[in-house]
Structure 1
């Protein structure tokens, strides 16, 4: 009788203990948050699912050891209103069909990183989730070699809004089947795979499409046909790191597209109106396009909505020539709302080009120009960009600039980043104090500072406004003098008293030595200037003799070029549009053009010698600018060496402008007189005969 009473009491009390445990305690290997309603047992290596407090609605159970999941696995979760469960990286090999049937409130599930789980088993289990409001499924790193089409069908009974399948190994993507079964889909992420073939589909509600890091080559019909747009609600499109080379006439009918990422594609250029048919585009990412990118048309970025453009690390040289095409005044003229621009990792041979490029961006607030090989800052830029507040010129070669010319009397800039440049001395000439009323961050670390009296003003400024100097003092080190190399700037700057005494002692010696040096310098410089071209020519002959170059050859030679062209930079347009078009493109005769054929990084004179040696003839393009060009005269002197003892037609002179003999130097006149002189016709109908005669001459035809 007593035993029976005890059992009855135990049965009555036990549920109370279980209820108290569930409502108050968290398993030892896990952490719980009552505020967020979540429990995390990540990486606990548990082989079972413990009891959790009743307030838990989200369970993070990745990194455990639930290899086989059956009805008993989740017995301790009964009574919880779970809306999210993560079972990633559990080594799951099998899941029984009805294991999720008791999850009546489940909205999201993550089964990622369980590569032993087949698509068919996963689909069968997911199909039995007993909550029709189930919306999201994540299946990353499953390493599936076949597209999980069974999963699409299994998910058709739910109103799935998000499907994420990253890092898998199937090549085909059937978006027709996807769109037919997941009609409510708003977010689709299938990246880090090897997808190369896509069957298009109509996604009426899709807002986010992420296909990054695949092998996809998008074509125009991917987004729709003449009557139907396949992605009418698309807002974000990520095509990063695929195999897209041509984006001309690609983007259309995507009226709601706000975000477009094209980074890491082998795109060759951006042609006119590429993004004009995207009336909602604000964010455009086009970085890391590779070394083959070489063209930006005048209206390539035309958009009245574009606000953020990332065009970094494309190795594009912003200098118009045969190899790179762009217009410095037009490139951003038709993008008036850009407020964030990143041009880092490109090259600007002229700082004036940068000023012309950016002057029309009146809304610009953030500008990144890191690693652009700049040697100074563009003047007037801040005056023309009144809203510019953040600028970064990190990792360039900047050593100085005109502070008043760059910043004006007052600048709106708040953040200036100049770390990793060539700044040794900082003074008020660089940073006029009255121009920086809004400055809050100034980053100057990792520059080769001179810890001498020249930086006393800089040191005093730091002490006055230390709060604005980012990473001070840890990134501010001395480079000179040698005995202070590596020391901290804050400890190595001389005092004002030390610098005052030194200045007095040096003044007399400096004045005396400068006076004598100045006289000697003027005399030497005058002689050098007078004989400058004779000196260059002697140096050239010395190099030829020392390196063994041979410019004179009477024997048979295999030439790479039919002719080496001597011209001045101002005649480059005529060379490209006339000479190259008629002789190379139409007649197939190879010419050596220095702007195109010279090897980058090689000494200029060596380039001239090697290319002339590889050319059968010399073509001398004579114009008003050419006869005034010192470099052209220098090339002509070198060409004389090649033409000695050679055929009479080794030199071809083309006069593209009427230049009187008195305007031609005696040495050049003698050289020109050694060949027949052909004048470029002034009348267009005579040009045909001119090009025919030149072509015959180059082909040794009479």
Structure 2
């Protein structure tokens, strides 16, 4: 008995695959039936005829969509609210043309998120719905504004065509509207407003609200664009296009063009008459000067940061020219020859200079009989300071690097090490490199390049005590680098 008096039945989110009267023929008083999110693929003729009082039917978002809807599937003259959204329906020809003939009193129809490829077929399909008040075609793939709808339905009050591919709103001339539509939503399309008319005057007269945000609003000095913006008037927190309330204002209404205005709120921007005047003819000259200044600044900055490398390659160029000319021997620098004067060139931070000219020099030169180039002692060779460094490195068979926490902060030492690495590659490894590690290093402050250098380059840790095994190991490693033979 309770089932016979049931007026609302919600069967959403089940797995119903077919509509029959087997279990619902007793629901003679049922007014609202919700069947969304099921697996119904076919609606056969007279699928709901056993529900004589049915007014609301929501059968949207079927798992695999609706594949077949027979002409008399909605054979129920009392149906008023029908929701068919997101069912993958293809409205392109005469296939679904007659499905609304048996239910002419539908006032609320939702066909959103289906696929309309033929607007004429769509209009013919819904033409029997003489009482239609609300029509939703959101995300239906429309490529133009369906103006035919506004000329066929006298009771139409609301139409939603958001999220389609409409680029412009064009009405034929002459156009006669029979509807008294009060609300139109055309948001999230691709509409360019290029004429001094949004809708024909009869439609504008009946409208009380409109949503047209997220479209292509032009904020340039174009005459039509300025006209459109001037039609928008603010009243407290609301905005009106002429006398029609704008829904979604202000955050849905943003400039699309020009590029420098893209994303700016339409309500925050208004170009004045002065701003729309022809630009100053000297502006290109100013721009050229600014660009030239920018380029010069960039080049100067690069030259400053890479000045040592520029000096190095300039040095190599001069050496190459000197070798080719070879006219006056007096023009050839002291170290500009193929022979090598030193056994090793020492790279070190100024803070480690005392160690290099002291204990380290005594070990290598006085005890091991190798000749070092130490800048604090031998740096007077050559004319230009940079050329002297490069000459000394070229005149040395190998390179020794004194590694301590001090050298990590010394950009000049880092540059010399990079040149030494280049020379190592150019000589195919003949100019060897050896790292003399003075103490425990602060690994956390070390660059990745230093970690890589320590891992891939021969090294030895300095030991103060002469007779310790560590000192002997260090000496042997150093000798194996500096000597061409095994000692």
What residue number does 2:252 align with? 475
1:275-674 aligned at under 5 Å gives the runs 275-319=48-92, 327-404=95-172, 408-409=176-177, 411-425=179-193, 427-452=195-220, 453=222, 454-463=224-233, 465=242, 468-495=245-272
Change (3 A) 1:426 1:364: farther
- The offset of 1:403, in angstroms, is 3.0
Cα distance in 1 for partners of 2:275, 2:176 equals 34
Report the secondary structure of 2:115's partner residue. Answer: coil
Change (3 A) 1:488 1:310: same
Cα distance in 1 for partners of 2:174, 2:89 equals 25
Change (3 A) 1:274 1:370: same
Cα distance in 2 for partners of 1:283, 1:341 equals 10
Greater radius of gyration (CA): 2
- The offset of 1:436, in angstroms, is 2.0
Change (3 A) 1:394 1:405: farther
What residue number does 1:240 align with? 12
Post-superposition CA distance 1:633-681 (Å, at most 9, x none): xxxxxxxxxxxxxxxxxxxxxxxxxxxxxxxxxxxxxxxxxxxxxxxxx
Change (3 A) 1:302 1:405: farther
Post-superposition CA distance 1:358-379 (Å, at most 9, x none): 1111101011111111111223
Report the secondary structure of 1:360's partner residue. Answer: coil
- The offset of 1:337, in angstroms, is 0.8
- The offset of 1:491, in angstroms, is 4.1
- The offset of 1:384, in angstroms, is 0.8
Maintained 8 Å contact 2:207/2:244: no
What residue number does 2:33 align with? 260
Cα distance in 2 for partners of 1:479, 1:249 equals 54
User: Structure 1 stretches of 5 or more lacking a match?
Assistant: 1-203, 207-230, 321-325, 503-702
Post-superposition CA distance 1:212-235 (Å, at most 9, x none): xxxxxxxxxxxxxxxxxxx32221
Cα distance in 1 for partners of 2:274, 2:72 equals 60
- The offset of 1:268, in angstroms, is 0.9
Question: May I ask how many residue pairs the two structures share in their alignment?
Answer: 269
1:61-72 aligned at under 5 Å gives the runs none
Maintained 8 Å contact 2:139/2:162: yes
Report the secondary structure of 1:341's partner residue. Answer: strand
Cα distance in 2 for partners of 1:430, 1:290 equals 39
TM-score by length of 2: 0.51
- The offset of 1:259, in angstroms, is 0.6
Report the secondary structure of 1:237's partner residue. Answer: strand
Change (3 A) 1:488 1:333: same
- The offset of 1:329, in angstroms, is 2.8
Report the secondary structure of 1:361's partner residue. Answer: coil
User: Structure 2 stretches of 5 or more lacking a match?
Assistant: 234-240, 280-487
Maintained 8 Å contact 2:65/2:86: no
Maintained 8 Å contact 1:271/1:299: yes
Maintained 8 Å contact 2:150/2:177: no
Task: Tell me: higher relative CO, structure 1 or 2? Use CA pairs within 8 A at least 6 residues apart.
Answer: 2
- The offset of 1:460, in angstroms, is 2.3
Cα distance in 1 for partners of 2:154, 2:134 equals 12
- The offset of 1:350, in angstroms, is 1.3
TM-score by length of 1: 0.36
- The offset of 1:470, in angstroms, is 1.3
Change (3 A) 1:500 1:367: farther
Report the secondary structure of 1:352's partner residue. Answer: helix
Report the secondary structure of 1:468's partner residue. Answer: strand
Report the secondary structure of 1:260's partner residue. Answer: strand
Maintained 8 Å contact 1:403/1:430: no
Report the secondary structure of 1:232's partner residue. Answer: helix
Change (3 A) 1:455 1:408: farther
Post-superposition CA distance 1:113-168 (Å, at most 9, x none): xxxxxxxxxxxxxxxxxxxxxxxxxxxxxxxxxxxxxxxxxxxxxxxxxxxxxxxx
Report the secondary structure of 2:38's partner residue. Answer: coil
Cα distance in 2 for partners of 1:347, 1:405 equals 28
Report the secondary structure of 1:483's partner residue. Answer: helix
Cα distance in 1 for partners of 2:275, 2:42 equals 59
- The offset of 1:387, in angstroms, is 0.4
Change (3 A) 1:429 1:352: farther
Cα distance in 2 for partners of 1:359, 1:433 equals 24
- The offset of 1:269, in angstroms, is 1.4
Greater mean alpha carbon deviation, residues 414-423 or residues 374-383: 374-383
Report the secondary structure of 1:479's partner residue. Answer: strand
Cα distance in 1 for partners of 2:140, 2:49 equals 29
